[in-house]
Amino acid sequence: MHDQISSTFSALADPTRRAILARLALGETSVTDLASPFEMSMPAISRHLKVLERAGLIARGREAQWRPCKLKAEPLKQAADWLDEYRRFWDESFDRLGEYLQELQAKEKKRGRKEELKPTSGE
Amino acid sequence: MHDQISSTFSALADPTRRAILARLALGETSVTDLASPFEMSMPAISRHLKVLERAGLIARGREAQWRPCKLKAEPLKQAADWLDEYRRFWDESFDRLGEYLQELQAKEKKRGRKEELKPTSGE
DNA sequence: TGGTTATTTAACCAAGAGGTTTATTACAAA
DNA sequence: TTTGTAATAAACCTCTTGGTTAAATAACCA
């Protein structure tokens, strides 16, 4: 999944990683601190952080032996923009419009039977 | 990945599946039609559809030997709501409280104008 | 009945994801 | 220089994902 939005969604698909982002929304912090709420090993957390980093969702600094993590939200904006294209489909008024159009289609189906749903049938 | 939002993000992490959703945004259609833009086999598409179905992103009907697929956007709303919590991190104006409140107001306003929307009025 | 079309299931495979434990690196403090 | 702490890397394991081909299912059509 080389494209940016795929790796963003992929990174967000894990509850541990979403929890890490939620923690980072409160502020920059260390890996150990990020790991503390979870029962998994440090290397596991470290790899979750690597996934988030590769998705561009966090940046890591260097402070003595600590490597503080910091939220980078730009990819989230991109994801939100993608989702926004579908907003009309969950907006109530559009839902009713959709159902109305479906009813029209259903009526048409009763008339036009064989031509329906063929490979290139447009809307 | 038992939780809803994880399976939503996971479903969205694949470009083929996002393209399928984009096609379904134009209207209900058959599996064969959905498969036509891709170079992969029908079973591969069929399994992508199963992923989308299990994530609640599509519903499938039955019309003779066709199984028309239809977009169900509710999980997308949930995902958008999750992302919205992070909006302040990519929105510069959120740096200051006053503008933060203005943003909230603007969001409410946007939400409240649902009933006047027309099919072609974009967001 | 048999044949065609649409779609799913089955069996398989390669690669990836997410976890483990055991080193190893990097730095601070003593 | 040694010791302790923070974090990553390596090696390994298991389960999942995304693809394949071939077979099965389901419905229409002649």
CB contact under 8 A, B76 and A86: yes
Q: Does B116 reside within a domain? A: no
Q: Does B85 reside within a domain? A: no
CB contact under 8 A, A13 and B13: yes
Extended beta strands in chain A, E state: 58-60, 69-71
Q: Does B38 reside within a domain? A: yes
Judge if the beta carbon of A62 is closer than 7 A to nucleic acid strand C.
yes
The answer to whether the CB of B89 falls within 8 A of the CB of A25 is yes
Q: Does B88 reside within a domain? A: no
pLDDT in tens, B7-59: 999 999 999 999 999 999 999 999 999 999 999 999 999 999 999 999 999 99
pTM check: above 0.85: no
Give the range of the structural domain holding residue A38, as residue numbers without chain letter. 2-73
CB contact under 8 A, A87 and B80: yes
Give pLDDT, residue A111: 41
Residue B111 has pLDDT above 70, yes or no: no
For range A97-117, the mean pLDDT:
49
What's the rounded Cα separation, in Å, for the pair B57 and B55? 5
Q: Does B22 reside within a domain? A: yes
Which of residues 68 to 87 on B have a Cβ less than 7 angstroms from any strand C atom?
68
Q: Does B105 reside within a domain? A: no
Cα–Cα distance list, B10 to A12, A95, B27, B70 (Å): 8, 25, 23, 19
Q: Does A87 reside within a domain? A: no
Q: Does B48 reside within a domain? A: yes
Share in percent of chain B as helix, strand, coil (round to 5): 60, 5, 30
A78 to chain B, closest Cα gap in Å = 10
A-B interface: how many C-beta pairs under 8 angstroms?
109
- Which of residues A103 and B76 earns the better pLDDT score? B76
Give pLDDT, residue A119: 38
Of A44, A45, A2, whose CA–CA distance to A24 is shortest?
A45
CATH number of residue B9's parent domain:
1.10.10.10
Q: Which residues of B touch A94 (CB under 8 A)?
A: 117
Tell which B residues from 10 to 29 touch A, by Cβ distance under 8 Å: 10, 12-15, 18, 21-22, 25-29
Residue A114 touches chain B, beta carbons under 8 Å: no
Q: Which two tokens stand for residue B12?
A: 């969205």
What is the tally of structural domains in chain B? 1
Pairing assessment for the beta strands A69-71 and B58-60 based on DSSP bridges = unpaired
pLDDT in tens, A7-61: 999 999 999 999 999 999 999 999 999 999 999 999 999 999 999 999 999 999 9
